[in-house]
Amino acid sequence: MVSKRFAIFLALRFGLLVLTLLALTILFTVPGYHAATLLTLGLIVVQIVEVLRFIAKTNRELVRFLDAARHADFSQRFDLDNMGAGFAELGLAFTDILKRFQQIRASQEYELRHLKAMVEHVPVPLISIHQQGEVTIWNNSAKRLFGTHHVSQLADFKQFGDEFAKQVSHLVPGERSLVVFSVDGMDHQLAISATQILYAGRQEMLVSMQDIQSELDSAQLQAWQELVRVLTHEIMNSITPIASLAKTAAELAQYARQKVQGDQELAAQLADVCDASETVARRSDGLTQFVGSYRRLTRLPIPNKQRIYISELFGQVTKLATQEWTEKGISLTMQIQPQNLQVEVDQGMVEQVLINLLQNAEQALQAIQQPQVVLSASLNLRGHVVIEVGDNGMGVAEDISRKIFVPFYTTKREGSGVGLALTRQVMMSHGGSVKVGKSELGGALFTLVF
């Protein structure tokens, strides 16, 4: 409608201009009309100026409209009522178009904010790796994963372990791999996968890094508990009647031995039978106690967590576990930083864990001159409470360091393989972890992270 009215007004002006030019031509051919000729010529000039002004007004408003659209300046308004016929409708059309642009832009911005908010709160860390090796961190989960460490290039991943950096550098789109991620003294098992994205003519790799350490630990723990439950059940079903029959056989052999005191040979044979039966009964009782100790792995209660001071925890533990250390020449050093450090744990469970670790350290120092043990507690860079038990013994060989927390595994002659397995289970029930390494004293270092 606006364009039609504009064309009509423009056509009328041009038509009037043509008629005036025709009149001027006629006046030029007829002598004696000099005044009329000058008047007509002036009228033509006025008409040309009016046409140019009419077009210029339209062009100015059109340019202002296009500039407003280009720069997203939706505050512009086009009130053209005072500019003549047809311009009011043109102004309304321009204003309406800008309002629609504004609505579309607002909708797009809302969707963008919504998408960013969703990405920010996705519980899986997301990063992008660009063609030149640049790295973009997309969400809060990724920021928490890397902590205070600066990551902007592929080379920055080396601070989390050479194997991790190698895996990330050689990612293949569509494939999924497991890798150990070490940060601030804590190890995480990550499942990483990548997707190739083509955006604005550029390629980038979208990488997800899901921490599955807790899921792996939980699945492994449940598997071991189920195995231990089945084994202890089957062993107890088999050993109980054996123990009972062995005791009965020993009693019968002893009774028969008393009846045949006159026959020395038979009495000697019955004595052998009695000794053998008592041995079987004794070993059966020992095996029953051994199996009973493993039942603790399947019956660990839910931790009753309370906030306690580390100093009180260490004081109680050392009072129970180190009473004879002075006589044995074992030096104990306790370090707590800060002194008022607290931790929220089940005190009874954690005390048993620390007592077990201190007893292990004592046994590892039996053949060591000037034995030393360091019991320390501190906060790591992520705000987790870390308790360490280190000694200057022989340490734990690397090839068995991953086995010592497995039920039934032990390096001690009279060990049951329960203590460290129970330690790991207690730490997992607290949402923490336990690992073994090499201490600064040269021996073993057990680290508990809560």
CATH assignment of the domain containing 167: 3.30.450.20
Instruction: Write down which residue in 211, 241, 269 finishes a domain.
Output: 211
Q: What H or E segment, with its residue span, contains residue 450?
A: none
Position 12 scores a pLDDT of 78
154 vs 136, 151, 184, CA distance in Å? 10, 8, 19
239 and 196 fall within a common domain: no
Position 215 scores a pLDDT of 72
312 and 262 fall within a common domain: no
For residue 32, being part of any structural domain is answered with yes
For residue 97, being part of any structural domain is answered with yes
Kindly give the interhelix angle for 264-298 and 213-259, rounded to the nearest 10 degrees: 160
Instruction: Write down which residue in 211, 235, 261 finishes a domain.
Output: 211
16 and 78 fall within a common domain: yes
Q: What is the CATH number of the domain that holds 428?
A: 3.30.565.10
What pTM was estimated for this model as a whole? 0.58
For residue 439, being part of any structural domain is answered with yes
27 and 56 fall within a common domain: yes
For residue 173, being part of any structural domain is answered with yes
For residue 301, being part of any structural domain is answered with no
Position 262 scores a pLDDT of 65
Where the chain has pLDDT below 70, the residues are 1-7, 9-10, 61, 71, 74, 77-91, 220-221, 223-225, 227-228, 230-238, 257, 260-263, 267, 270, 283, 286-299, 407-418
Position 375 scores a pLDDT of 92
Instruction: Write down which residue in 244, 262, 296 finishes a domain.
Output: 296
289 and 179 fall within a common domain: no
Report residue 242 CA to chain centroid gap. 52
pLDDT in tens, 314-373: 988 888 888 888 888 888 889 999 889 999 998 888 988 898 899 888 888 887 888 899
For residue 356, being part of any structural domain is answered with yes
Closest CA to 376 of 359, 391, 392, 362: 391
404 and 321 fall within a common domain: yes
pLDDT in tens, 371-420: 899 999 998 888 889 999 999 888 887 777 777 877 666 666 555 566 78
Quick one: DSSP state of residue 393? Answer: S
Number of domains making up the chain: 4
The answer to whether residues 297 and 407 touch, using CB atoms and an 8 Å cutoff, is yes
For residue 144, being part of any structural domain is answered with yes
311 and 287 fall within a common domain: no
For residue 80, being part of any structural domain is answered with yes
Domain extent at residue 231: 216-296
92 and 136 fall within a common domain: no
User: Token pair of 317, please?
Assistant: 């533990």
324 and 197 fall within a common domain: no
365 and 277 fall within a common domain: no
151 and 231 fall within a common domain: no
Position 344 scores a pLDDT of 92
314 and 420 fall within a common domain: yes
The SS3 call for residue 199 is strand
